Amino acid sequence: MKARAAIHRDFRISRIDDRLYSAFIEHMGRAIYSGIYEPGHPHADHRGFRQDVLGLVRDLDVPAIRYPGGNFVSAYDWKDGIGPKTERPVRLDLAWRSRETNQVGINEFAEWAGEAGIEMMLAVNLGTGTLQDAREFMEYVNHPSGTTWSDLRRSHGVEQPYGVKMWCLGNEMDGPWQIGHRTARDYGRVANQTAKALKALDPSIETIVCGSSNDEMPTYPDWEREVLEECYENVDYISLHKYFGNNSRDTLNYFGKIEQTGRYIQAIAGTIDHVKAKKRAKNDIFICFDEWNVWYHSRAEDKARVKAWDWPEAPSLLEETYNFEDALFVAGLLNEFIRRSDRVKIACIAQLVNVIAPIRAERGGPAWRQTIYWPYQMASLYGRGDALAVQVDAPRYDCRVADDVSYLDIAVTHDAAAGMLTIFALNRHLTEAADLDVEMAGFNARRVALHRVMEGHDLQATNSAEAPDRIAPADGSGAALDDGRLRARLGPLSYHVIRLE
Ligand code: AHR
């Protein structure tokens, strides 16, 4: 099939916020314990941080990380995780029916994030927690000295405040499963007062209010409208969450969920605009898509296991094994985030290690990259700068979740400082190759600096400890510049990252 696209140097969608490639990690399963932290592991340092995992994390160039939950945060007391480790309480984690030893708390996590070169984005407990708890947490984390909480931090060996800028006001408060679940109005008021208090303490922070847990919630999208009506002036972002799957084994429909996500983003952007107009507000609110990923392979079994088990410590949980099809899906979803970077400023892959994650780390054993690691890494490394508008002319298809879906899914970024134009192209066609022809106006690209491709694998193929590199990008061939045009052949079900300079 023929797939034509056109870009122009001056037709920018937006400057991409680097935080579009952020991540999320929660105290659940083996994300923290035996994920990033495993004292005694052959690759652990003297503090218990796994250096093999840290290396894989660093290679992703993750800008920010949301912590400590997730559902976990809604019954978590941050004070349990500070002070001498031997004196920390063991608690029952109500979200995942597990035992929390509190051997990792805010200071250990901050140390790990610092070494990984990642900025922290902290969530406060608005389930069982109060405004007072949130305020004390922030004082401990961000205030320099001279108060009870800041001096307590200093007595714990952390002289300088962390200066955390991003604060999430609870988690998924629309979900009936959430400990402390509230109605939209109730939550909106609590979020407003909490945001006000936190900003009084440190006016330089940004607050993130909970949107819907997904676009199939019965309260969506009224939830967003009602919450924002209560707190618009005191928040900076509204969070969106969505997890994806292909239970029906319908690849084209699965890929159509990328378009469906675009509608979700559009609906929330419209809701923000509606409330802004209604309130005659001056400030803008952006979207923080702070939980996204594929989650379906082991979801049903995990749910049953959690129900049945007896409060285990760091159990295997939500350890999805991703296949090649999932990698293609993630590539397309990241393209959608780039295309909507005018409204989506922060997005977090959920999660980072072991739990629905691009990195798997065996207890006492090796760490390796799942299939989805690769598109996430390439978007994070190369998808910086400006997002450009792309005019696409390619064959289209209809599916259950969306109509008129282009077989060519494409996003283009321009990093003027680095002099790089990057094309992220996914051919969703099951059987046909696409002859891609991109017209590039206003550029003077001289050469193809990089061409990486993921193609030719069985859609069900996965990586594993025994075969960690089965699915990985390879060097592509045949992409050529010709009189201001880029031409490339995209095999069926393939993903290409082509950089021009
Ligand atoms: O990421 C796993 C869980 O998914 C999170 O704890 C929760 O916020 C969401 O429902």
455 is catalytic: no
Tokens of 437: 């022809």
Q: Find the 234 Cα to ligand 1 centroid distance in Å.
A: 25
Helical H runs in 156-233?
184-201, 222-231
The Cα–Cα gap between 120 and 135 comes to 17
172 is catalytic: yes
Q: Find the 414 Cα to ligand 1 centroid distance in Å.
A: 33
State residue 307's pLDDT score. Answer: 94
CA dist 318 → 13, 40, 88, 104, 352 (Å): 36, 24, 27, 20, 12
Tokens of 1: 């099939």
State residue 337's pLDDT score. Answer: 98
Ligand 1 binding pocket mutation candidate from 66, 97, 291 (most atoms within 8 A of CB) = 291
The Cα–Cα gap between 229 and 214 comes to 20
CA dist 421 → 7, 451, 501 (Å): 11, 12, 6
The Cα–Cα gap between 481 and 217 comes to 47
**Residue-by-residue pLDDT tens, the chain, 501 positions:** 999 999 999 999 999 999 999 999 999 999 999 999 999 999 999 999 999 999 999 999 999 999 999 999 999 999 999 999 999 999 999 999 999 999 999 999 999 999 999 999 999 999 999 999 999 999 999 999 999 999 999 999 999 999 999 999 999 999 999 999 999 999 999 999 999 999 999 999 999 999 999 999 999 999 999 999 999 999 999 999 999 999 999 999 999 999 999 999 999 999 999 999 999 999 999 999 999 999 999 999 999 999 999 999 999 999 999 999 999 999 999 999 999 999 999 999 999 999 999 999 999 999 999 999 999 999 999 999 999 999 999 999 999 999 999 999 999 999 999 999 999 999 999 999 999 999 999 999 999 999 999 999 999 999 999 999 999 999 999 999 998 899 999 999 999 999 999
Please state the ipTM of this predicted complex. 0.99
The Cα–Cα gap between 274 and 434 comes to 40
Residue with CA nearest ligand 1 atom 6: 70
End-to-end CA distance of the chain: 27
The Cα–Cα gap between 196 and 118 comes to 26
Contacts of 151 (CB under 8 A, 6+ apart): 145
Q: Quick one: which of 166, 279, 263 has its CA closest to 227?
A: 279
Q: What residue ranges line ligand 1, CB within 6 angstroms? A: 26, 69-71, 171-172, 213, 291, 350-351
What domains can be seen in the chain, in order of their start residue? 2-9+388-500 (2.60.40.1180), 17-382 (3.20.20.80)
For the beta carbon of residue 139, count every other beta carbon within 10 angstroms: 19
Buried b (16+ CB within 10 A) or exposed e, 193-209: bbbbebbeebeebbbbb
- Give the amino acid at 206: E
Which of these is catalytic: 136, 172, 226, 455?
Answer: 172
Q: Find the 70 Cα to ligand 1 centroid distance in Å.
A: 5
State residue 214's pLDDT score. Answer: 97
